[in-house]
Amino acid sequence: MTLRSEDDFLRLIDHYFPEKPDNVVLGRGDDCCIIQARSTLCLSTDLFLEDIHFRRAYFSPEDIGYKALAVNVSDIAGMGAVPRAFTLELMIPEKLPDDFWPRFFQGMSQLAQTYELTLAGGDLSRSAQLGIGLTIWGEPGESGRLLTRGNADPGDALFVIGNPGMARLGLNMLEQKGTAALEHWPRSVAAHLHPTPRVTEGQILSGLAGVRGCMDISDGLARDLPRFLRHCPQAHGADLDFGTVNLDPELLCWAEGSRREALRSVWLGGEDYGLLGACDTKSLPTLCAAIPEATYIGTLSATPGIRHNNAPMESRGFDHFEQ
């Protein structure tokens, strides 16, 4: 399909994203969309840029569309909220294949349908580089509560939901082997290309009184745990315990059977899009029963620093501005 004008793009968008007026009072086509907010809203925005966040060498158009939306949905999940709608900004270079945009919108719309998300509006422009910008918003679920990062205390239990380290492995294999990595590393490649936002789990957490705080893991535990701690007025550090972390066979295979090396990948991670949270210790069994995938990883401390077996942990994870 050759898109020759902005109207061609808008017709294509209309095909994949029919209006849903129950979420948005006035959607695409006017100067602004109109939102009827039933409660407090949480809002997030992210960029998804070629050769920084993805490479077309191993991301299909469907993968790009899916992940551009998924990383934003994950922010809403980290608040324990229900995603409602989003806006989309497109940076459009020349000489993309004719089927690129239909396939892109197919991948994005499939995820939007999963969460009944409305595309409320956006913008597009020619550009030297392919890029996607999204702004997404959500609202509290049945609990009426939004989770934040700043309420945990010393002695609270730390937990993760998801499989930290797998997306990092998938990225490394894709960079080395391209799409051929799928043959031997299917789960880790899928973790990188198609992360699963933990929306259901986030809403369960928001309904558990003992959960002190939560955030999504986007840049790896090594980066995101210090960010979590910065918001806690009394819990300045953590003592980690990875004894109950289950390691995927692909991660162990890559680490040549070394649990220590595999756990290093879990710690550094990046692109995980799971959840990191804290709860009071009495609530941990209830939490793990409600979310069997939740894994205890340590305890918050009043003592600054992050330690494992009394040794300081490496603090490097993904940073947009590091080379």
Whole-model pTM? 0.93
Question: Are β-strands 81-92 and 118-126 bridged in parallel, bridged antiparallel, or unpaired?
Answer: parallel
219 is in an annotated binding site: yes
Superfamily of domain 6-140: PurM-like, N-terminal domain (3.30.1330.10)
51 is in an annotated binding site: no
The one-character DSSP state at 159 is E
Residue 184 has which token pair?
């031997």
242 is in an annotated binding site: no
Q: Give the list of residues 6+ apart from residue 280 with CB closer than 8 angstroms, or none.
A: 153, 155, 156, 157, 210, 212
Write the burial class of residue 304 (CB in 10 Å: 0-12 exposed, 13-18 middle, 19+ buried).
exposed
44 is in an annotated binding site: yes
271 is in an annotated binding site: yes
184 is in an annotated binding site: no
Residue 54 has which token pair?
């993805």
Q: Are 211 and 278 in contact (CB under 8 A)?
A: yes
Domain ranges across the chain:
6-140, 157-312
Q: What is the mean pLDDT of residues 185-203?
A: 97
241 is in an annotated binding site: no
Q: Matching CATH topology for 6-140 and 157-312?
A: no
Per-residue pLDDT tens over the stretch 20-60: 667 778 878 778 888 887 789 999 999 999 999 999 999 99
**Which CATH class name applies to 157-312?**
alpha beta
122 is in an annotated binding site: yes
Q: Which DSSP helix (H) or strand (E) runs through 111?
A: helix 100-114
5 is in an annotated binding site: no
Q: What is the mean pLDDT of residues 287-300?
A: 96
Range from 62-76, 174-188, 266-280, 301-315 carrying the lowest mean pLDDT: 301-315
> Residue-wise over 145-173: b if at least 16 C-beta within 10 A, else e?
bbbebebbeeebbbbbbbbbbbbbbbbbb
Residue 318 pLDDT exceeds 50:
no
